[in-house]
Structure 1
Amino acid sequence: MVIDRVKNAAVYYGLGERFQKALEWMVQADPSSMVPGEKCTIDGENIFATLFEVDTLPREESQLEGHKRYADIQYLLEGSECVGYAQNGTVPVTVPYDPQKDIGFWNGDWDTLKLEAGMFYIVWPDDLHAPRVACGAPAPVKRMVVKVKLDP
């Protein structure tokens, strides 16, 4: 897992051509031109983004998720939220991985990191993450999720 501020995005260009393209796009993107919940194509099925305007959830209503085909770059635009984190294999599966949807769910003990507007994190298949966790009382957040296809 990588966690940083968007002003440092260029540090991670070395993760590969797709990550560089995704991060460059993310930094320059105009969220006001995006429709919440709609997929925004950046490079076909290799890189795409979705804008979310949602409320955070209490920890007990949140669960860890994981992906195998895509890495997530989650960029918090407005508000603050906590993110649950655990390594794959350390907590029990609650919903088995669905290859069609590229998602599975886990639950158990996890660590929590706090994000403020202007921060992003990157997670790979071994990184289980619970986005949208309230750090206190549930509150609105605006978050962009950029999906980067991983090599087979």
Structure 2
Amino acid sequence: MVVLKSFEEFKNIFRTGKKWIRCAEAINNIPNIKENIYYSIGDSLVYMITDSKEEKEFCGHRRYMDIFYYLEGGETIEVSPKSKLDVIEKYSDETDREYFEGTGEKVEIKEGEMVIVEIGEACKCYGNAKKLIIRVTVEDNYFLNK
């Protein structure tokens, strides 16, 4: 997990590479986004604004990493390496999700901050926040099946 204090910090660290540029493009599009509707940029990134929901299980991905940008409020995010958790629902290629139980590192995140959950990790969130969820591929710049 990478915790960033601001979008400015994100832009300073991740200023090159197509997927990072597309993440910044998604964040810059916030004024035009309707809540709870997924948008996409190419075939490598989807994003949506939504309110936090309390999650009971850890969720992990294999093809997309999660990036959360907190717009209002805050929440606790709990993250753990998948290898330290117990699988409760096997990976689905259709949803790119797998579910786990166990415990992880808890971090309090507040408005304006960003979190990157890497592919070898799973997370669960609980709190009262409005956030931009970005799912960006870890594959090169395209899907081989397209």
TM-score (norm 2): 0.85
SS at structure 2 position matched to 1:11: helix
Tell me which residue corresponds to 1:101.
95
Q: Of 59, 79, 89, which aligns to 2:73?
A: 79
Residue identity in the other structure for 1:7? E
Cα gap change, 1:149/1:7 in structure 2, threshold over 3 Å: closer, same or farther?
same
Tell me which residue corresponds to 2:137.
149
SS at structure 2 position matched to 1:89: helix
Distance 2:91 2:16 in 1: 25
Distance 1:67 1:109 in 2: 17
Which segments of 5 or more consecutive residues in structure 1 lack a partner in the other structure?
A: none
Tell me which residue corresponds to 1:37.
36
Deviations 1:47-79 (A, max 9, x none): 12111124x53xxx5221100011111111101
Number of residue equivalences: 139
Q: Of 41, 44, 47, which aligns to 1:46?
A: 44
After the TM superposition, which segments of 4 or more aligned residues of structure 1 sit over 6 Å from their partners? none
SS at structure 2 position matched to 1:79: strand
Deviations 1:97-117 (A, max 9, x none): 111100111111211011000
Give RMSD over aligned pairs.
1.8
Tell me which residue corresponds to 2:22.
21
Shift of 1:19: 1.7
Distance 1:88 1:11 in 2: 29
Distance 2:135 2:60 in 1: 12
Shift of 1:14: 5.4
**Contact 1:72–1:148 (8 Å) recurs in 2:** yes
Which segments of 5 or more consecutive residues in structure 2 lack a partner in the other structure?
A: 141-146
**Contact 1:12–1:19 (8 Å) recurs in 2:** no
Distance 2:19 2:103 in 1: 32
Deviations 1:113-147 (A, max 9, x none): 1100001111122011112x13xxxx3x2111111
Distance 1:12 1:127 in 2: 21
Distance 2:12 2:56 in 1: 31
SS at structure 2 position matched to 1:80: strand
Sequence identity (%): 19
Shift of 1:15: 6.7
**Contact 1:12–1:20 (8 Å) recurs in 2:** no
Q: Counterparts in 2 of 1:59-138, with a 5 A limit? A: 62-131=56-125, 133-134=126-127
Tell me which residue corresponds to 2:143.
none
